[in-house]
């Protein structure tokens, strides 16, 4: 079971790996907008409404949709949840099946709105007050919970009041470890960039804190490349012109080969947000590129300070400059080795071992 399905995303990568590891399992989601990536996945009644076009509008209805699922047979139910998928309840024999949840996080805009701007509005705050007791009650239905980082496991303990096993999500480290095969247009775009630069990769939205990448370049005296797209682009361009004029380049909506090439060519990747896990630092390390990451959050569990990059809680002045310098002195081989510890194969082995340990060997196909 998964929330909504999109064409790409970290949670979709988890769902894909689960699907490959348990190929005989039926699959269900709120709605499927994966454009053919995931086929044969059942959908809730929300998929037949205009609400599927607005995640914000769908949030209040998702708990109801998850409690009105059809009758199915199941030996066990495994939920991939970053909103309310852990509320899932099928009718029929599946209603009594042991339920396990792989939690990307308890809903951030319900439980930790200070980390997610989507929870700052009056409507979101009102919904949060209603949803917290219900969400905790639904989490208590689970036989077992796994978290995608210790950072999230601690949040689960605080919010759902449950213990969780840590299983880091899958990262396609093999793909990012290979050299990029660029087309002519992408090659021209990359060739126009500075020979050395600090790289920021993300959606351009405020809570991703891409301005901190610019600040890192400024204090280190290095060019900056920002790769991504989103509504915060104009603000970031203005910030770049004011704080680091003429030394910030934007690569808008990079292709996958372009992104891979940027990882390989960057001197370091700067990753400032407080994330539940943070896939971008692992992708960068897979390319042999060190990372300057936030000392708070899931990225602090993948980046090893002084070995594969640097961790910092201060994003200005001499401390930030020292973090960049520390990262630049990291060994590319150590970065690649560390990234390998978060591979898809490792995730599949651990998720199967966890399910098997909870429900028993005879029930895990």
Confidence of residue 121 (pLDDT cuts 50, 70, 90): low
pLDDT of residue 336: 97
pLDDT of residue 289: 98
Confidence of residue 114 (pLDDT cuts 50, 70, 90): confident
Model confidence at 364: pLDDT above 80: no
Model confidence at 122: pLDDT above 80: no
Model confidence at 365: pLDDT above 70: no
> How many whole angstroms separate alpha carbon 155 and alpha carbon 258?
35
Higher-pLDDT residue of 348 and 363 is 348
Confidence of residue 8 (pLDDT cuts 50, 70, 90): confident
| Averaged pLDDT for residues 44-53 | 94
Q: What is the pLDDT of residues 63-78, one digit of tens each?
A: 999 999 999 999 999 9
Model confidence at 118: pLDDT above 80: no
Q: How far is CA 211 from CA 199, 259, 271, 313, in A?
A: 12, 19, 10, 15
Model confidence at 128: pLDDT above 80: no
| Averaged pLDDT for residues 336-359 | 96
* Element containing residue 107 per DSSP (H, E): none
pLDDT of residue 192: 93
pLDDT of residue 123: 63
Which of these, 266, 207, 198, lies nearest to 231 by C-alpha position?
A: 207
The fraction of the chain above a pLDDT of 70, given in percent, is: 96
- The H-assigned helical ranges of 71-210 are 108-111, 122-139, 150-159, 173-177, 184-191
Higher-pLDDT residue of 15 and 181 is 15
| Averaged pLDDT for residues 114-125 | 64
* Element containing residue 236 per DSSP (H, E): helix 233-243
273 in Cβ contact with 300 (< 8 Å): no
**Mean pLDDT of the residues in the chain:** 93
Q: What is the pLDDT of residues 194-231, one digit of tens each?
A: 999 999 999 999 999 999 999 999 999 999 999 999 99
Which of these, 323, 334, 212, 347, lies nearest to 285 by C-alpha position?
A: 334
| Averaged pLDDT for residues 93-110 | 94
pLDDT of residue 199: 98
Q: What is the pLDDT of residues 257-272, one digit of tens each?
A: 999 999 999 999 999 9
Task: Read off the pTM.
Answer: 0.92
Model confidence at 115: pLDDT above 80: no
């Amino acid at each position: 079971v998964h929330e909504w399905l999109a064409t790409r995303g970290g949670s979709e990568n988890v769902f894909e790996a689960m699907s490959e590891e348990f190929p005989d399992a039926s699959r269900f989601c709120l709605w499927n907008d994966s454009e053919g990536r995931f086929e044969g996945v059942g959908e809730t009644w929300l998929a037949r409404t205009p609400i599927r076009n607005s995640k914000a509008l769908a949030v209040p209805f998702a708990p109801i949709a998850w409690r009105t699922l059809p009758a199915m047979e199941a030996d066990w139910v495994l939920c991939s949840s970053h909103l309310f998928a852990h509320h899932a309840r099928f009718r029929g024999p599946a209603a009594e099946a042991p339920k396990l949840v792989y939690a990307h996080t308890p809903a951030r805009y319900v439980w930790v709105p200070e980390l997610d701007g989507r929870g700052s509005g009056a409507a979101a705050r009102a919904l949060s007050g209603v949803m917290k007791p219900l969400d905790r009650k639904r989490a208590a239905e689970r036989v077992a919970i796994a978290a995608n980082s210790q950072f999230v496991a601690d949040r689960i303990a605080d919010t759902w009041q449950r213990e969780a096993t840590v299983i880091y999500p899958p990262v396609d480290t093999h793909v990012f470890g290979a050299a990029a095969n660029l087309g002519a247009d992408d090659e021209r775009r990359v060739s126009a960039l500075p020979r050395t630069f600090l790289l920021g990769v993300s959606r351009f939205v405020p809570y991703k804190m891409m301005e901190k990448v610019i600040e890192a370049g400024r204090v280190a005296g290095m060019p900056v490349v920002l790769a991504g797209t989103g509504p915060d682009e104009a603000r970031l361009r203005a910030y770049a012109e004011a704080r680091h004029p003429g030394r910030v380049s934007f690569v808008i909506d990079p292709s996958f080969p372009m992104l891979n090439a940027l990882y390989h060519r960057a001197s370091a990747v700067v990753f400032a947000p407080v994330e539940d896990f943070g896939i971008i630092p692992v992708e960068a390390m897979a390319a042999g590129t060190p990372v300057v990451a936030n000392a708070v959050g899931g990225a602090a569990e993948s980046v090893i300070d002084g070995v594969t990059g640097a961790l910092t809680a201060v994003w200005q002045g001499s401390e930030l400059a020292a973090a960049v310098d520390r990262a630049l002195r990291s060994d590319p081989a150590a970065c690649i080795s560390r990234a390998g510890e978060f591979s898809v194969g490792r995730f599949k082995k651990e998720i199967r071992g966890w399910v098997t340990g909870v429900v028993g060997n005879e029930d895990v196909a």
